[in-house]
């Protein structure tokens, strides 16, 4: 026994680890766990929240009632898919990651033009790009490390 180490103290985590069979990970660390880790969930919810924050900037009164309905439907769909992805639904994670990537392909080429027009708009769009890029990369990393049976497939 090393000097200064008190072996009489055991906390609840030590007891739970002692009772767990050898080679079995806790549910939060198991591969293919239906729940995402904290970082991907926060990124997903951040992208959804930022989408709601940007809504007034996307509102165009000249679009009429149909334009307002389309904007509302798009925001509702984005939030529903995002919440489902944050809750761990594999199909929703794939769709959300795809939509983030598609949005990046549409937005990134216009960033230099926005920087010349308005620094404030550039930084607002840059935040969105960073969040969506991180979200796509993180969900992709989680999906890549999942067992092959847990991966989402378009044809499934």
Mean pLDDT over 58-78 rounds to 92
Tokens of 45: 């919810």
Q: What is the pTM of this model?
A: 0.63
Check pLDDT > 60 for residue 55: yes
pLDDT interval class at 155 (50, 70, 90): very low
Mean pLDDT over 89-98 rounds to 89
Say if CB 132 and CB 103 are below 8 A apart.
yes
Report pLDDT for 154: 37
* C-alpha pair distances (Å), 150 with each of 30, 62, 156: 12, 46, 11
Q: What is the dihedral of CA 32, 38, 40, 45, to 10 degrees?
A: 130
Cα distance between residue 103 and residue 128, in whole Å: 10
Tokens of 107: 């937005």
Check pLDDT > 60 for residue 30: no
Q: What one-character DSSP code corresponds to residue 155? A: T
Cα distance between residue 73 and residue 59, in whole Å: 13
Comparing C-alpha atoms, which of 44, 134, 28, 30 is closest to residue 86? 44
Percent of the chain residues topping a pLDDT of 70: 66
Q: So where are the chain's domains?
A: 33-150
Report pLDDT for 72: 94
Report pLDDT for 153: 39
Mean pLDDT over 16-28 rounds to 61
């Amino acid at each position: 026994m090393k000097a200064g180490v008190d072996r009489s103290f055991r906390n609840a985590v030590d007891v739970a680890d002692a009772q767990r069979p050898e080679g079995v990970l806790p549910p939060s660390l198991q591969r293919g766990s239906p729940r995402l880790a904290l970082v991907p969930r926060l990124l997903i919810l951040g992208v959804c929240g930022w989408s709601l924050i940007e809504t007034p900037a996307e509102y165009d009164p000249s679009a009429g009632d149909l334009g307002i309905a389309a904007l509302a439907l798009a925001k509702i769909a984005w939030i529903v898919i995002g919440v489902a992805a944050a809750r761990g639904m594999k199909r929703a994670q794939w769709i959300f990651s795809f939509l983030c990537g598609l949005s990046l392909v549409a937005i990134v080429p216009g960033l230099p033009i926005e920087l010349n027009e308005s620094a404030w708009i550039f930084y607002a769009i840059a935040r969105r790009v960073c969040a969506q890029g991180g979200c796509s990369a993180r969900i992709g990393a989680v999906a890549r490390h999942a067992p092959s049976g847990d991966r989402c497939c378009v044809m499934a």
